Amino acid sequence: MRLPRASRRGAGSVAGLAAGLVLAGAPARAETLAEAIAYAYDTNPTLLSQRAQLQATDETYVQAEAGFRPTASLQVLGAYAKGPQLEGVGNQRFTTETNTGSAVLSLSQPLYTGGRTTAQVHGAEAQIRAGREQLRAVETTVLQQVVQAYCDVQRDRSALAIQREGYKTLFDETDEIKARHEAGAATITDVEQAQTQLESAHAAVQSAQAQLEVSAAEYVNAVGRSPGDLAIFPALPGFPIDLDNAFDIADQENPTLRQAQFTEAANRAEVEQAKAERRPNLTLNGQFGYSGPAVPAVGDQFDRTVAVTATLTQPIFSGGVIGSQVRQATASDTSARVQAEAVRRNVVQAVSQAWSQRRAAELNVATEAAAARAAQATFDGMRVEYRAGLRETLDLLIAQETLTSARISLAQAAHDQALEGAAVLAAVGRLEARALLQGAPLYKPQTSFRRVEGRGSVPWEFIPKALDRIGAPAPPQPSPLPEPPAPTGAVRIASPAAGTPQAPAVDERLLVATHPEPNG
């Protein structure tokens, strides 16, 4: 079943983040989003813990494969016995005393398990693949936290700069109003109004500073180090062309959905494992050993034993246990299949919401940018008219407050737009280092799995494997994810493929709208 398709619509362009705007030119060397992601990718405790958990899950494959391999055990026995005194001829008494020793090497090689071991291997493979998708889901959450912290710091730095600039402007205006009052061109009420507004602006600066410190602490928690100078939020690759395309991508790449599908596959393998309990089991056993007096240990007094047996076991009646186990596993598989459908619906909802919120944020940025430009023009005109005696002091103060508020609203709107764009990538399954970064070494769970998958193998295990596959269903085959590029050069945000859209970088017009050159 595919994700539902929506009506075609234009995706539009994403204006990019204005929360990272700066007052002056960019620093010579600012930390980029790619570097923040790469550092968190290598050091985040939650991500490292999940990788270790996946490595533990990899071992279930080795344990399942052991069902095809022989087992050997060595049993060494030593015994000493002293019996009661026995009366013999001529009233002589004898004491019985014996000592024995044995060493037996036992070998057991499964030949056919009715498909039980094959089902266990298929289940382990599905669990491992589900674990890999869980790792991708955790990585998406971690990277969302990094993007959130990165954008929050940039927004709050911009807000602090705007508040400080507004305070400085009000400070100069207050001095001008005081001078006008001394010249008789303004009243004491005008001075008090300006002083009140100035104190309010000072409080806003302190509040913005406190908020920036909170965001910096969140950045340390998400990334693992304090934020330095941060570069402008970049374009992110892999953005869907439209909502239909977003549904298609999520159907193939969303980690939560894929995890639910592999979990259902693991439950399906448990059904096959339960059914295999009804089939015969064939095992080849061998024993080789010696037994005889332990003391003194004389070689020619030991008896040698060699035995080879083939055991065929066919369950006939189990008191209903096997049937119950099959029904239990079937019910669990049905539950997992229904749960996968529930996850699919949640993914549809998440993609739809993220796409709609991203579109709304894009329109909001355009609206706030226009409002900021209008507020700037109003303030500039109001100041000229005030100096010409055509406007009251209160009009000028209100215009100044409106301008500061409009510029902060624009920074907040563009911050939200960047986060909503990242939310779209998270919903479809592309907010991960594999899709975002170039030049960074990536963790590959397949490499860790290959290090352990052959542990304990023997040359002849292909024979029981071939026999056990008779009548067994094929293992689940996942749709492959795109291979990440090999690391080359500096760490950077990946370039989008030819013909694919992306969320563009900062619109330079917003730089002017948010941080205009001071006038007067």
Q: Is the pTM of this model over 0.75?
A: yes
Give mean pLDDT, residues 25-40.
78
Among 152, 131, 135, CA closest to 221 = 152
Q: Quote helix, strand, coil % in the chain, to nearest 5.
A: 60, 15, 30
CA distance 287 to 266: 37
Q: Determine the residue type at 283.
A: T
Band of residue 484 on the pLDDT scale cut at 50, 70, 90 = low
Question: How is 194-219 classified by DSSP, letter by letter?
Answer: HHHHHHHHHHHHHHHHHHHHHHHHHH
Q: Is residue 265 part of a domain?
A: yes
CA distance 251 to 6: 14
Note whether 110 and 67 are within 8 A (CB). yes
As a whole number of Å, the CA-based R_g of the chain is 37
Query: What is the 8-class DSSP label of residue 276?
Result: G
Q: Is residue 297 part of a domain?
A: no
Q: How far is CA 375 from CA 388, 408, 412, 425, in A?
A: 20, 12, 16, 34
Domains of the chain: total: 1
Question: How is 420-456 classified by DSSP, letter by letter?
Answer: HHHHHHHHHT--SHHHHEESS----HHHHHHHHTTTT
Residues whose CB falls within 8 Å of the CB of residue 282, separated by 6 or more in sequence, listed in order: 110, 111, 112, 310, 311, 312, 313
187-210, pLDDT tens digit by residue?
Answer: 999 899 999 999 999 999 999 999
- Percentage of the chain exceeding pLDDT 90: 66
Q: Is residue 88 part of a domain?
A: no
Q: How far is CA 335 from CA 7, 59, 349, 473, 487, in A?
A: 32, 26, 21, 20, 42
Residue 13 has pLDDT above 90, yes or no: no
* Residue 441 belongs to domain spanning: 33-68+120-275+330-514
- Percentage of the chain exceeding pLDDT 70: 81
Query: What is the 8-class DSSP label of residue 236?
Result: B
442-470, pLDDT tens digit by residue?
Answer: 999 999 999 999 899 999 999 999 999 88
Name the one residue in this structure whose structure tokens are 């030819």.
498
CATH number at residue 434: 1.20.1600.10
Among 466, 372, 463, CA closest to 166 = 372
CA distance 62 to 68: 10
Band of residue 25 on the pLDDT scale cut at 50, 70, 90 = very low
CA distance 226 to 216: 7
CA distance 250 to 427: 7
Identify the three-state secondary structure at position 57. Answer: helix
Q: How many CB atoms lie within 10 A of CB 276?
A: 22
Among 178, 175, 200, CA closest to 187 = 178
Q: Is residue 103 part of a domain?
A: no
373-398, pLDDT tens digit by residue?
Answer: 999 999 999 999 988 888 888 998 99
pLDDT of residue 440: 87
CA distance 134 to 266: 14
Q: Is residue 15 part of a domain?
A: no
Give mean pLDDT, residues 103-123.
93
Give mean pLDDT, residues 146-170.
94
Both tokens of 75, joined, read: 């049993």
Q: How many helices and strands (H and E) does the chain possess?
A: 12, 6
Q: Is residue 199 part of a domain?
A: yes
Both tokens of 203, joined, read: 């409080």
Q: Is residue 294 part of a domain?
A: no
The overall average pLDDT reported for the chain is 84
CA distance 497 to 433: 16
Task: Return the sign of the alpha-carbon dihedral for residues 180, 182, 184, 189.
Answer: positive
Among 43, 37, 61, 44, CA closest to 130 = 61
Q: Is residue 282 part of a domain?
A: no
Bridge partners for 109 per DSSP: 284
305-349, pLDDT tens digit by residue?
Answer: 899 999 999 999 989 999 999 999 999 999 999 999 999 999 999
Least confident of 23-27, 45-49, 324-328, 460-464: 23-27
Q: Determine the residue type at 92.
A: Q
pLDDT of residue 460: 92
pLDDT of residue 18: 38
Q: How far is CA 390 from CA 192, 197, 395, in A?
A: 20, 21, 10
Q: Determine the residue type at 416.
A: D
Both tokens of 53, joined, read: 């958990």
Strand order of the sheet with strand 303-313?
A: 71-87, 93-112, 281-292, 303-313
pLDDT of residue 292: 78
pLDDT of residue 489: 56
Residue 216 has pLDDT above 70, yes or no: yes
Residue 361 has pLDDT above 90, yes or no: yes
- Dihedral, CA of residue 442, residue 444, residue 445 and residue 447, to nearest 10: -140
